[in-house]
Every structure is written in structure tokens, then in C-alpha cells.
Amino acid sequence: MAVIARLDDVTLSYAERVVLQNLTLDVVEGAITCIVGLSGAGKSTILRLLNGLRKPSVGRVLVKGQDLTQLTERELVNLRRSIGFSFQFAALFDSLTVYDNVALPLRENMHLSDDEIRPRVHEALETVGLAGTDDKYPAELSGGMVKRVGFARAIITNPEIVLYDEPTTGSDPIITHLLTDTIMHLRKKMNGTAVVVSHDLQSIFMMADYVAMLFEGAIIAQGTLAEMRSSINPIVQQFLQGSEVGPIPI
């Protein structure tokens, strides 16, 4: 198994508050890695480290062989263009239509003509099941549709890695199933790598090839879904069972 991205002994702190401490995480190429953990544990911060939106206080962030901590801002911008990012609440630009939201990276970064952009946007929207929504504004869509437009925007440039921040949070079980299916379908179609931050067990059990558990600023366990399920670590067990009884302070 090849590792496409690695957080190597990373510590991140803001002023006196330590968010991540001596954290090491491997992202396996061509697989879906789910990062799980309690709310506010720093899971989303890991995604921001992986695309260079945050810099670690200590340690290295390696993506496709490049150490992000050593890159210039310009090099980081170029790298970010090859990593898709789906935000928790999609972060669509509310002044733009669905079509323009998805087309934006192609228009601004790749400078393609409208004739080149149109089929790609329509294909991406079709892939996430939103054909025919071109002219709608984000405010006119349901929560699940907004998230899928966010997925379409994240994959429009065919990135090798797509980062999903809490893709199913706040969705009902049916939409959760739909969104999870979409992530699996997109990963397969693009033959790429996905890193998903979530604490939605139903979704994790459906899609994860690998799971890493974040607890108190560090990855305390990492492995395949089967390995994690049979882990003897009581924290992992308590989390995966969704139990309130165990070593995790509530």
C-alpha cells in the first residue's frame, strides 16, 4: 500500500492552546481514510493541514512527496489546486448559481473557454445526481443538495485527493446514505484518494477502507475498518460502539 500523504509528528498550537500534539497519520493512496473522533477534537484541522491551509507549529506534512512546510505560498496555491476540498456546510458562494459555483475553479484556475467548461460542469453535476440544477442558487437547494454541489466543485478539476469535512453531519439517514454512496462512487470513478472527517458511524462503516481515531490531539489508533473494529483499545471500542460508558470523558 502506497502512502500519498503523511502527517509526520505534527504539533499545532494557537497561543497556549495545543490542538494537535505529536500526531502521525498516513493516508493510503486509492483508498478512503476516515478520521474519527469527538466533536472539537481537531479533525477538521487535519484536513486543513493536508492542503496547506494551516501550517503545523512543529513537524512535517508530506503530500505527494512534497513537504508542505517548505513550500512557498505560490507553490502551496498550486498544490491546493490539485486537492479537492468539500466543506462541512459546502461553503458555496451564495451570489453564484450552482453552475457558476462548480465552474469557478475551471474558469479562474484553468482559464478554459465556456465551451470546454460546460460539459465538464454538467458531467460533475450528473455524477452527484444534480443534473438540471444549473440556474439554481444555493439558497434554493436542500441541505443534501448543497453538500452534493460542494462535492461537484471539489472534484471538478479531477484532483488526486479529495478531502471531505463532515459530509453527512446534520443529514437524515436517507441523505446520509446518499452522500456516503456519492463519496464512494466519486472515489471509484476518479480512481483517487479520499480523506473523510466524520463521527457518523453509519457512514464510516459503509465507506471506510482505513480508519484513524483522533483523541486528545493525537492519533491513538489507525488501521483497516476490520482492525479498528477488533481493536482492544477501550477508547476506540467506546467510540465505535457509541457508548457513554468508558474511558472517554463526557
Binding site for another protein (CB under 8 A): 48, 51, 53, 77-78, 80-81, 83, 85, 87-89, 91-94, 104-105, 108-109, 153
**Closest approach of another protein to the CB of residue 164, in Å:** 12
33 Rama sector, left if φ>0, alpha if ψ -120 to 50, beta otherwise = beta
Contact residues for 199 (Cβ-Cβ < 8 A; gap 6+):
36, 37, 38, 39, 43, 166, 169
Position 212, amino acid: A
Contact residues for 178 (Cβ-Cβ < 8 A; gap 6+):
129, 144
Residue among 101 and 222 whose Cβ is closer to another protein: 101
Contact residues for 240 (Cβ-Cβ < 8 A; gap 6+):
201, 228, 229
Q: Give ∠ CA 173-175-179 in degrees, rounded to 5.
A: 115
Residue among 81 and 136 whose Cβ is closer to another protein: 81
**Closest approach of another protein to the CB of residue 54, in Å:** 10
**Closest approach of another protein to the CB of residue 88, in Å:** 7
Residue among 121 and 240 whose Cβ is closer to another protein: 121
Residue among 56 and 105 whose Cβ is closer to another protein: 105
**Closest approach of another protein to the CB of residue 73, in Å:** 10
**Closest approach of another protein to the CB of residue 124, in Å:** 14
Residue among 24 and 88 whose Cβ is closer to another protein: 88
Contact 49, 56 (CB under 8 A): yes
